[in-house]
């Protein structure tokens, strides 16, 4: 019955958004820079609060949350009209703390997990007048790539409803693509912001935090591979956000001749879908034609092991990391094992089989995975020293979107989805991506893995320029 209702909803959404021109117009209207430069704060508030709250895409776990009983602090306390983001609506993945909302991590067992403060990034956005319009749907416990949640429904890709939105931050991408928010704050370990952005025709930024706030975000790992990320219509939007968040001057506009881009003949690490290959060739030709320096240089063999190594690390570290998180909350459930008691969702079964003691990788396997990840990190350093390039450009995912039944978790090999995005995670370097439109009209994600020597400000300026050239 549930599947029938979802299929019916998919059909209606498909019918409504069939026209590609309308979809593009929707994106253009939501560009953050345009919104900030061409509207008043009160107009932004009005726009933010007049969003169609029917939520046809199963975007939200909780919308415009209310403080729990006995808690006086209210969400969105910043006065409308104050700050550079005044009235701009954003969503936050429901694994990240936002005052006034429960941090459920996509499971009903944490419906009473109310934080006592905002995550520091959320607090910064709110201090500038931004309005958190809701907590975004996700794969339960962030353990998946399809954003099909047993409690909050299957997230639907607003741009291409017959295709997967990706995960685990699928609700974040769908909220931005569907017009419910101007941007989203997600979390990225195994491509959890980059894959949904690619599938929904958006841009994403995997930032690097010096010290991830482990108890303000539901963790997947304990060794620093979890990082926050932003999803927005373009890297230009993300660069504007970052300049406001970190209070630095607007990023410089680079000339194409200032770009040095590595392209690997052996990258992809798996066979590319024809549309992805065609889009990559188009991007390369545009960059070369604009005057950018392109260096063909094969990537190390170790890159092909990144996804397997990273998923092994996640499966080994998840249990102690999440138990530490639950201990910091001093509530119920007290342990991951207790949280999963009597729960028979797909995610619960997956976690039991992969991350609890009966199926968790043994220590020797985990240590080999860590050695592989460390080798990849060193290989990335060596690669950029050899090429003298600023970024390595490659497809975000070898396929454009998962084209089979969005309700089938066996439709796409998870490791195939994670193969490319896992390299940046293992290397602990900045990565961001933007979307092109393939010859068949589907989005294709183009990822830029940044040299370890480049800081976030430089990385954003470089990648924004690349996006502008390719999408011009």
Residue 123: exposure state from Cβ atoms within 10 A (0-12, 13-18, ≥19): middle
* 272 pLDDT tier (thresholds 50, 70, 90): confident
**Please, what are the domains in the chain?**
2-471 (3.90.1300.10)
pLDDT over 90 percentage in the chain: 67
pLDDT (0 to 100) of residue 401? 62
State the catalytic residues.
Answer: 93, 168, 192
Q: Please tell me the least confidently modeled range out of 16-25, 299-308, 350-359, 451-460.
A: 16-25
- Is the predicted pLDDT of residue 260 greater than 50, yes or no? yes
CA distance 45 to 80: 7
Residue 395 has pLDDT above 50, yes or no: yes
Q: What is the pTM of this model?
A: 0.90
Query: Within 13 Å of residue 12, how many CA atoms lie on the same side as its CB?
Result: 8
Average pLDDT across the chain, whole number: 86
Confidence band for 26, pLDDT divided at 50, 70 and 90? very low
405 or 46: which carries more pLDDT confidence? 46
Put the strands of the sheet holding 131-136 in their side by side order.
Answer: 60-63, 131-136, 89-93, 183-188, 227-232, 203-206, 431-437, 443-450, 391-395, 260-263, 293-296
Q: Which helix (H) or strand (E) holds 367?
A: helix 363-387
Cα 115 to chain centroid distance, Å, stands at: 22
Q: How far apart are CA 28 and CA 36, in angstroms?
A: 13
Tokens representing 320?
Answer: 């102690």
Burial label for 19, CB within 10 Å (0-12, 13-18, 19+), is exposed
Confidence (pLDDT) at 47: 63
């Amino acid at each position: 019955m549930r599947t029938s209702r979802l299929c019916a909803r998919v059909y209606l959404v498909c019918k409504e958004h069939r026209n590609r021109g309308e979809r593009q117009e929707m994106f253009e209207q939501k560009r953050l820079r345009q919104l900030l430069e061409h509207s008043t704060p009160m107009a932004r508030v009005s726009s933010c609060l007049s969003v169609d709250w029917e939520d046809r895409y199963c975007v939200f776990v909780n919308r415009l949350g209310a403080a729990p009983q006995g808690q006086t602090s209210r969400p969105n306390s910043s006065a409308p009209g104050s700050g550079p983001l005044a009235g701009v609506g954003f969503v936050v993945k429901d694994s990240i703390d936002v005052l006034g909302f429960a941090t459920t991590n996509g499971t009903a067992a944490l419906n009473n997990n109310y934080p006592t403060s905002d995550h520091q990034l959320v607090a910064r956005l709110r201090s500038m007048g931004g309005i958190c319009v809701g907590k975004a749907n996700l794969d339960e416990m962030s353990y998946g790539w399809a954003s099909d949640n047993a409690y909050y429904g299957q997230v639907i890709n607003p741009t291409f409803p017959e295709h997967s939105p990706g995960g685990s931050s699928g609700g974040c991408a769908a909220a931005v693509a569907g017009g419910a928010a101007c941007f989203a704050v997600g979390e990225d370990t195994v491509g959890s912001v980059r894959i949904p952005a690619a599938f929904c025709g958006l841009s994403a930024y995997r930032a690097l935090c010096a010290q991830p706030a482990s108890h303000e975000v539901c963790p997947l790992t304990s060794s620093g591979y979890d990082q926050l990320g932003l999803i927005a219509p373009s890297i230009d939007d993300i660069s504007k956000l970052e300049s406001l968040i970190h209070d630095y001057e607007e990023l410089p506009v680079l000339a194409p001749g200032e770009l040095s881009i590595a392209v690997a003949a052996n990258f992809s690490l798996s066979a590319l879908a024809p549309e992805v290959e065609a889009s990559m060739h188009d991007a390369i030709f545009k960059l070369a034609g604009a005057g950018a320096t392109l260096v063909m240089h094969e990537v190390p063999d170790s890159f092909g092991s990144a996804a397997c190594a990273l998923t092994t690390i996640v499966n080994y570290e998840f249990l102690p990391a999440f138990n530490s998180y639950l201990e910091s909350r001093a509530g119920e459930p007290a342990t991951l094992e207790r949280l999963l008691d009597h729960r028979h969702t797909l995610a619960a079964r997956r976690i039991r089989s992969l991350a609890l003691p009966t199926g968790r990788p043994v220590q020797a396997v985990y240590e080999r995975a860590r050695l592989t990840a460390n080798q990849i990190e060193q290989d990335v350093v060596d690669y950029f020293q050899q090429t003298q390039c600023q970024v390595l450009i490659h497809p975000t995912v070898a396929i454009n979107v998962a084209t089979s039944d969005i309700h089938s978790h066996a439709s796409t090999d998870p490791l195939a989805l994670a193969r490319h995005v896992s390299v940046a995670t293992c290397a602990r370097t900045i990565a961001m991506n933007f979307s092109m439109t393939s010859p068949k009209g589907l989005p294709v994600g183009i990822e830029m893995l940044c040299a370890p020597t480049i800081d976030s400000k430089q990385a954003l300026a470089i990648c924004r320029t690349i996006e502008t050239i390719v999408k011009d």
